[in-house]
Amino acid sequence: MEVFKECTDVQSNRSSYTSDESHDREEISHLQRHGWSAATVKVLASMPSRTAELNKSRRVRYQASSHESPHLSRPVKGASVLAEAEEINTEVRSDLSYSTDSNLCAAENNMDQLVSSLQGLSVSEGTRKLREMPLSLADKIEIRKVAFSLKTESSFIGRNIPCYTHLSMYISMTWRHCLFSCLPVFSSFKLWHSALKTLSGRYGTGVLSYFLFLRTLLFLNLLLFVITGLFLIIPQAINPPPSPKADFSGIELLTGTGYFSDSLMFYGYYSSETLPGDQYRMPAAYFFTIGFTLFIICIILVYRLSKSFGKNFQVLKSNKNLAVKVFSCWDFKVSKKISVRLQSEKISTQLKEQLSEMIKGEDKKTCMQQLHRLIVHLLAWTACLISIFLGTIGVHNLSGKNFNVKTTLNLPKDTELLVLSAVVSGINLLLPGFFNLCVWAEQYESPGTRVYVSVFRNLLLKVSVIGVLCYRWLESIPANGLECWESSVGQELYRLLVMDFIVTVLYTFLGEFLWRVFSQTILQKKRKPVFDIARNVLELIYGQTLTWIGVLFAPLLPGVQLIKLIVLFYMKKRSLILNCQASRKPWRATQMTTLFICILWFPSFLGTVVTIIYTVWTIKPSEKCGPFRNLTTMFEGGQMSTRHLEDAHPILKWLSWVYDCLVENPVFLFLASGVFLMVIYFQAQVVDGQRKIISRLEKQIENEGKDKKFLIAKLQDLCK
């Protein structure tokens, strides 16, 4: 990159006007130096950094004075300076181009050098260089006339080549034109792109991260649904097993029993009995489909996680972003009034957020105040933990009671089945409200900390609830001797999901609306409440965990979750616009997305995988229903099918041999992970080193500037 050089200049009384044919627009501004003698300036003008650039073709001669002499006080609005400035401005803006005595020859040399630099190149190279010169069009046409006319005199063949270069240039130009006009079309294909732009501009990056997370989950569920649909649902739907159909009554949408219990919805429906013989074995399909989808989701999540982490560890980090934002954020293409207003809002919000990050002033607190705060924190945490514990105990007892009833062959009424899911949803509704109360009492200073603490507390709640439920399902249900325990678990999961959805809808419509009315009329607050990110994100993660666990027991569950997410997006957006407002203290949520994906990965997905592996490995499938009947474990079903496949296709034998040798061999795994760790360490060191080099170079540039000032001052002294 060419570094643009500056020159100092001479006094204005030595300027002379020339309107020579060199229309090089060397804009020379004559910021007069008060005390500088001509000798000083002459010396400075012939500094190597000035003269070295004369021979390069691509340069601009902005001649301006750069450094204040340290002897002078800073002339801010001195009358003399103003007068000079006005004089300068009129000079600059006149039609004539200026050059000074000492630079007059240089100006002419300038033009000649530009022309000569162009002559040494081929036509296409020369045209490219000509285009990139920062001169006015009239000047460029002049230079071109001179340069290329000389060229064509020397070589006649040279004139014939331009046809070909014109064509190739034309093609590349039209191609680029097409590409740039298609790009905005592509970006608008991204789901909900414009809605998210509006939201982020008005409500900040925290709220935006929630909606982006929702969109990510939507795509994951879509993928899950498509894969299970293709390999499990459609084959089974085409060949339905004979089963007595119960009557359909409305309550079954909530409970999942009755009409739905013997349907595609749940595990019990799937079997290999009705499928055409050896061509499509349901146990194999079931086992491998579930395994494959979980594997793909694992890879996607790890990839997203690593990309998010990567963004946080960039070499040129965000503490230098404010200037860049100010100068390169405004999109000049935007021409509609509404879009322009939206853009202004977006930039204002972003600038405010960055400012808030920079001024994190903490007031000094006295000892008593610190102690007081500590006690308040401790109390709040204890209260939250106790409430979580109580909630978990309640769920534990209730689910025990619920399932024990079934052993007495006295099947509970439909409404009784809903009690557990209602209670769980109730806990999920009330306890986050209680956490919000605690956070309000604790009075955290920055909104970011508040959100992180809430997220953590909500996470603990959800983890304990799901943990207790999983324990119940896997420990006690199979032992109860139910006819089709997997379907029961699937139905339970379905009920939880649907009840959660209904409660969320009611809360969004009524709860948030009522809370806004309450806070504005009774609490007399002028601002609308802030969107509760922690609660909503953890709701999403909770629903997603249930879906993932449920894929094994109810293959259609991702479809239900998909519908739920789509409806949720529009509802939440509506509610946000009606009832909420941006936080008074804007804060930057750069790491929110990373945090959400991290939570999705670590407790949620890994927990699901552990649960599923445990189920598949150890628990005996029920004997009368499902694709794995008459087997000791589901895993055995998988193994059997692999053996069957190997026998059918001997080629696959080597694949299983490779699997046995490599994947199941611990030495290989250790070696591979060792290599990965070393690569990661190496890269981290390289990044660290680059950062250090950059900071040292910046310091060096600063010191050079100081040196220059010092030398100029000394030169001044000597010349006096």
Name which of 126 and 391 has its Cβ closer to other proteins: 126
Cβ–Cβ under 8 Å, residues 469 and 399? yes
Q: Identify residues 317-346 at the interface with other proteins (CB under 8 A).
A: 319-320, 322-324, 326-337, 340-341, 344-345
Taking the complex as a whole, how short is the minimal distance between the CB of residue 593 and other proteins, in angstroms? 19
Query: Which is closer to other proteins, CB of 128 or CB of 692?
Result: 128
Spatial separation of the C-alpha atoms in residues 708 and 720, rounded to whole Å: 18
Q: Which pair of structure tokens corresponds to residue 14?
A: 């030595």
Single residue of 12, 29, 109, 591 touching other proteins by CB under 8 A:
29
Contact call for residue 653 and other proteins (CB under 8 A): no
> Which among 544, 568, 437, 425 is positioned nearest to 495, based on CA atoms?
425
Q: At what angle do helices 205-228 and 533-553 cross, to 10 degrees?
A: 10
- Beta-ladder partners of 99: 16
What is the closest distance, in whole angstroms, from the C-beta atom of residue 345 to other proteins in the complex?
Answer: 7
**Closer by beta carbon to other proteins, 51 or else 187:** 187
Given 21, 87, 132, 445, the residue binding other proteins (CB under 8 A): 132
Q: What is the CA radius of gyration of the chain?
A: 36
**Under 8 Å between Cβ of 301 and 648:** no
Closest CB to other proteins among residues 174, 449: 174
Binding residues for other proteins restricted to 445-474, rule: CB under 8 A = none
Write the DSSP assignment of 19-70 as a string of letters: --S------B-----SS--HHHHHHHHT-HHHHGGGGSSS---EE------T
Q: Where in 285-324 is the site for other proteins (CB under 8 A)?
A: 316, 319-320, 322-324
Q: Closest separation between CB of residue 595 and other proteins, Å? A: 24
* Burial bucket for residue 405 (CB in 10 Å: 0-12, 13-18, 19+): middle
Tell me which stretch binds other proteins (CB under 8 A): 428-436, 573-581, 701-709, 711-719: 701-709
Here's the x/- map for other proteins, 30-59, by CB under 8 A: it reads as -x--------------------------x-
- Which residue in the block uniquely carries the two structure tokens 């607050």? 525
358 binds other proteins (CB under 8 A): yes
Positions 71 through 100 that interact with other proteins (CB under 8 A) = 85, 88-89, 92-95
d(Cα 346, Cα 343) in Å, to the nearest integer? Answer: 5
- Minimum CB separation from other proteins for residue 586, in Å? 11
Smaller CB separation from other proteins, 58 or 525:
58
CB nearer other proteins, residue 245 or residue 333: 333
Q: How far is the CB of 618 from other proteins (least distance, A)?
A: 52
Over the window 579 to 618, marking each residue x when it contacts other proteins by CB under 8 A and - when it does not, the resulting string is: ----------------------------------------
Site for other proteins in 151-210 (CB under 8 A): 166, 170, 173-174, 176-177, 180-181
- Residue 718 structure tokens: 């000597």
Pick between residue 416 and residue 702 the one whose CB is nearest to other proteins: 702
CA dist 146 and 126 (Å) reads 13
Shortest distance, CB of residue 173 to other proteins, whole angstroms?
Answer: 6
CA dihedral angle for residue 379, residue 384, residue 387, residue 393, rounded to 10 degrees: -120
Q: How far is the CB of 81 from other proteins (least distance, A)?
A: 11
The residue count for binding other proteins (CB under 8 A) is: 82
For every residue of 165-190, DSSP letters joined together read HHHHHHHHHHHHHHHHHHHHHHHHHS
Please give the DSSP secondary-structure letter assigned to residue 530.
Answer: B
Query: Cβ closer to other proteins: 337 or 624?
Result: 337
Q: Which of 79, 359, 367, 522 binds other proteins (CB under 8 A)?
A: 359
523 binds other proteins (CB under 8 A): no
Residues 6 or more apart in contact with residue 502 via CB below 8 angstroms: 425
Segment near other proteins (CB under 8 A); pick from 126-134, 403-411, 525-533, 558-566: 126-134
Considering only 25, 215, 396, 585, the residue that binds other proteins (CB under 8 A) is: 25
Query: β-strand 15-18 against 62-63: which pairing, if any?
Result: unpaired
Residue 172 to residues 168, 180, 523: CA-CA distances in angstroms? 6, 12, 64
> Which residue, among 399, 378, 380, has the nearest Cα to 388 in the 3D structure?
380
